[in-house]
């Protein structure tokens, strides 16, 4: 995907790579022109437009209103589709690339009476930014951070000195995992709870918080929570142009529109970043994203066209 400066991309230089844990590095980027980057709230992420043509999303580790640098925590995925492996093997200090401004689908409610932070592995990156903001504001918080071993835990040296941080290592717990029901039951009823980590952890967290108010439970997915809707056999009409497209089986709305030459914003293609969110004028989407809440899905006001399809024979989109 190639997007110009008019689409909000910024030219940056990789200025530092620091070891954080086994197969996990901190990558620091600064604008080539020396100006400040866009403000970054805790929980925000950016898109990296890699020289190999891939676009990948990574969370920022530090909240900052006028950042001179963005720092990303990136873990080498053994099943990498070319993103993290390229970053680890090809990106060097001094290399330049383009990034997006900071976007936040995982915002921190920083005036909550108490905040429970739960992270698994590299899921600590947005949680670490939240922790720093809460700590600096002297807000009440508790962290539960799980990794396979001590060697895999970023920021461990700093976290070990914080009484609010509870560190869990799978290989030292005889196979026991975090007890989400215990964690949730001990949280004050007006607390806000945040979880970021691998899929099984997020599903366990969702089960443990099923009876909590939706607005107090916050989840960040790194990968798709469910398969894309690719059944096809429906029509999409673009309200602004009047163009109509038949979506065949095996293809997403986004794929069909791109193949037709339309310039539609997109990034992750898994329903986790929100770049392709599109307003729905009529029709019933088959929601498959990891961002919209159940209440938001029920309104059918918007949909992620990279992964969601249609339950109705016809969709009219605000495109």
Q: Give 136-173 as a DSSP string.
A: HTT--EEEEEEESSGGG-TTHHHHTT-TTEEEEEGGGT
**Residue 4: CB atoms within 10 Å:** 8
Taking CA 171 as the corner, what is the angle to CA 131 and CA 141, rounded to the nearest 5 degrees?
A: 15
Do residues 267 and 258 make contact, with C-beta atoms less than 8 angstroms apart? Answer: no
pLDDT at 4 over 60: no
Residue 179: predicted pLDDT? 95
Q: How confident is the model at residue 7 (pLDDT cuts 50, 70, 90)?
A: low
Q: Which CATH architecture has domain 234-317?
A: Roll (3.10)
3-state class (DSSP) for residue 11: strand
Mean pLDDT of the chain: 93
- Domain range 5-99, CATH class: mainly beta
pLDDT at 225 over 90: no
pLDDT at 6 over 70: no
Helices (H), the chain: 84-90, 124-136, 156-159, 180-186, 199-208, 253-259, 294-299
pLDDT digits (tens, 9 = 90+) for 205-215: 999 999 999 99
pLDDT at 224 over 90: no
Residue 206: predicted pLDDT? 94
pLDDT at 1 over 50: no
Ordered by start, the domain boundaries in the chain are 5-99, 115-220, 234-317
Close Cβ partners of 248 (under 8 Å, ≥ 6 residues apart): 232, 233, 256
Residue 267: predicted pLDDT? 81
Do residues 117 and 142 make contact, with C-beta atoms less than 8 angstroms apart? Answer: yes
pLDDT digits (tens, 9 = 90+) for 48-72: 999 998 888 999 999 998 999 999 9
pLDDT digits (tens, 9 = 90+) for 103-146: 999 999 989 999 999 999 999 999 999 999 999 999 999 999 99
3-state class (DSSP) for residue 317: strand
Q: Is the dihedral of CA 167, 173, 175, 177 positive or negative?
A: negative
Q: Which CATH architecture has domain 115-220?
A: 3-Layer(aba) Sandwich (3.40)
Residue by residue, DSSP assigns 23-74 as TEEEEEEEETT-PPPPPB-TT-EEEEE-TTS-EEEEEBSS-BSS-S-EEEEE
pLDDT digits (tens, 9 = 90+) for 238-279: 999 999 999 999 999 999 999 999 999 888 888 988 889 999
Q: For residues 136 and 25, what is the distance between their CA atoms, to the nearest angstrom?
A: 24
| 71 or 83, which is more confident | 71
Please give the average per-residue pLDDT across 167-171, as a whole number.
95
Please give the average per-residue pLDDT across 82-100, as a whole number.
94
pLDDT digits (tens, 9 = 90+) for 181-202: 999 999 999 999 999 999 899 9
């Amino acid at each position: 995907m190639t997007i110009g400066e008019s689409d909000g991309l910024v030219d940056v230089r990789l200025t530092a790579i620091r070891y954080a844990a086994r197969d996990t590095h901190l990558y620091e980027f600064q604008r080539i022109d020396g100006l400040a980057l866009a403000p970054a709230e805790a929980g925000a992420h950016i898109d990296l437009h890699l020289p190999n043509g891939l676009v990948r999303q990574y969370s920022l580790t530090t909240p900052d209103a006028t950042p001179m640098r963005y720092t990303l925590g990136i873990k080498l995925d053994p099943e990498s589709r070319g993103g993290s492996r390229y970053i680890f093997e090809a990106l060097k200090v001094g290399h330049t690339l383009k990034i997006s401004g900071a976007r936040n689908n995982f915002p921190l409610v920083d005036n909550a009476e108490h905040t429970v932070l739960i992270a698994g592995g590299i899921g600590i990156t947005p949680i670490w930014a939240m922790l720093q903001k809460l700590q600096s504001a002297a807000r009440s918080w508790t962290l539960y951070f799980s990794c396979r071993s001590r060697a895999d835990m970023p920021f461990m040296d700093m976290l070990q000195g914080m009484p609010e941080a509870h560190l869990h290592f799978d290989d030292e717990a005889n196979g026991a995992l975090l007890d989400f029901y215990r964690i949730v039951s001990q949280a004050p009823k007006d607390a806000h709870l945040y979880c970021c980590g691998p899929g099984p952890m997020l599903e366990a967290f969702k089960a443990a918080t099923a009876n909590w108010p939706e607005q107090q439970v916050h989840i960040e997915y790194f990968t798709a929570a469910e398969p894309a809707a690719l059944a096809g056999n429906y029509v999409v009409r673009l309200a602004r142009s009047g163009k109509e497209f038949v979506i065949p089986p095996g293809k997403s709305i986004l794929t069909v529109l791109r193949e037709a030459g339309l310039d539609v914003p997109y990034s992750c293609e898994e329903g986790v970043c929100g770049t392709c969110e599109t307003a729905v004028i009529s029709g019933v989407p088959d929601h498959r994203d990891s961002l919209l809440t159940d209440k938001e899905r029920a309104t059918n006001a918007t949909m992620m066209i990279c992964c969601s399809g249609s339950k109705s024979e016809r969709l009219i989109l605000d495109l």
